[in-house]
A and B are shown apart, each in its own frame.
Chain A
């Protein structure tokens, strides 16, 4: 009899507490903005932080609260900007993230092709190596090959190819700019995703200097610009660049003609 009584008391107490909690959960329910959840579902979910907010949920909350501008998400690009605009019920104004940009390592100088000033045996980090005479690579504009960008990439889009070069997979790249910020030599720059070719050199040194230290660098000979005016190549100084806003009809021929073959296929 006693045990039944104890059981009943505890059961009643639990019931009262449970009902109380259920009631409190209704009464004190925090109204979250449903749009924030919807936006969060639309965002890429990489939590890369390129928008300047702590993760995708931070940006979704700021968007639904109206404190953040739409279109700050580079990985999402135009598509996400328009989806977010439709959730928020505002017009997509065309500002912010535009066409899809991907990172590209503008250097092909691996250990065999580029000279070294000294042997670096420090910790495996580009920024650490860069502190010592701007790195062991003789070319002070090129890739240090220690892979700091590989570590920061949220989508594992950056890897080393068989030649030891650091390459970005344009299909996996979400354009969050993290690698461009961590790279001490700024050899990683953004190019449009649609661009078929890119210049695999970042050196502003004159042709003679480049030739001495690297066999695949741009020597600024301007063959691409003069012989193939329709290639989109412009050589303002000792480094060729591609003007992606122009028609790049002759870029294939220009790549063939380049004496150091530093116009390469971007994908």
Chain B
């Protein structure tokens, strides 16, 4: 599978939030305004990219040789949690500005299922190291895209006369569902037609 196809797949066709329904917690929680949505999206993209590499390495060079593949979920959670902590430390030390922007979102990502999801998907899809990294980054971009779209919708919804029972989270879930429906239009057949 070419890298372009991986990118299109994980941004549109298999969008993490709108097609695979992973990472719904930040999708509702951090989408109230677009500024924090962008911050969260950047942080997730960053972590997903690096986590893809790390989990691939751990899987290929630790779990497979030791014949412990069935421990992948447990190991990946461990590795991702440690990785996020480590990344947070490095950012805090080397780039205070970036830490101000991403800092509060990083601990939220530790147990985000989108990050664990991409790690496991990379293994099931049988990607190599570079493909894993691309899939991770693209997944993060897709996540960011959905989050930014959602935050803009919610910002506009604040000004609309929404019925009282639907105000806030309920209407957000309904719009999320409609967005997911729209993303159904991107399917594998379209991708094959586009890329041959």
Binding site for B on A (CB under 8 A): 5-6, 9-10, 13-14, 17-18, 20-21, 24-25, 28-30
B79 close to A30 (CB less than 8 A): no
Q: When chains A and B are docked, how far (Å) is the Cα of A14 from the Cα of B68?
A: 15
Contact yes or no, A17 B93, CB < 8 A = no
Chief secondary structure at chain B's binding surface: helix
Given A17-B78, A28-B92, A30-B93, A10:B71 Cβ within 8 A: yes
Give chain A residues whose Cβ lies under 8 Å from the Cβ of B85: 21
B75 contacts across to A, CB distance below 8 A: 10, 13
**In the complex, which residue of chain A has the Cβ closest to the Cβ of B81?**
A17
Residues of B within 8 A of A6 (CB): 68, 71
A25 near B71: Cβ-Cβ < 8 Å:
no
Contacts A13-B75, A14-B78 known; 4 new A-B pairs at CB < 8 A: A10-B75, A13-B62, A18-B82, A28-B93
Using a CB–CB cutoff of 8 Å, the interface residues on chain B facing chain A are 58, 62, 66, 68, 71, 74-75, 78-79, 82, 85-86, 89-90, 92-93
Q: How far is the CA of A20 from the CA of B79 in the complex (A)?
A: 11
User: What DSSP secondary structure best describes chain A's contact surface?
Assistant: helix
CB of A229 to closest CB in B, whole Å: 60
Whole-angstrom distance from the CB of A58 to the nearest CB of chain B? 12
Contact, CB under 8 Å: B92 / A20: no
Closest to B79 in A: A17
Once A9-B71, A13-B62, A28-B93 are accepted as A-B contacts, the answer to whether A21 and B86 lie under 8 Å apart by CB is: yes
* Bound complex: CA A163 to CA B178 (Å): 56
Which one of B74, B86, B89, B93 lies within 8 Å of A10 (CB-CB)?
Answer: B74
Contact A9 B68 (CB under 8 A): yes
- Which 6 pairs between the two chains have the least Cβ-Cβ distance? A17-B82, A28-B93, A28-B89, A24-B89, A30-B92, A24-B86
Closest A residue to B83 by beta carbon equals A17
Inter-chain contacts of B71 with A (CB < 8 A): 6, 9-10
Given the interface pairs A28-B89, A28-B93, A30-B93, the reply to whether A10 lies near B82 with Cβ below 8 Å is no
Chain B contacts for A28, CB-based, 8 A:
89-90, 92-93
State the CA gap A24–B78 with chains docked (Å). 17
Q: How far, in Å, is A143 (CB) from chain B's closest CB? A: 34
7 interchain pairs (CB within 8 A)?
Answer: A9-B66, A10-B74, A10-B75, A20-B82, A21-B82, A25-B89, A28-B92
Cα distance, A29 to B58, chains bound together (Å): 27
By a CB distance below 8 angstroms, the chain B residues around A13 are 58, 62, 75, 78-79
Q: CA A18 – CA B78 in complex, angstroms?
A: 10
Taking the nearest CB of chain A, how far is it from the CB of B96, in angstroms? 8
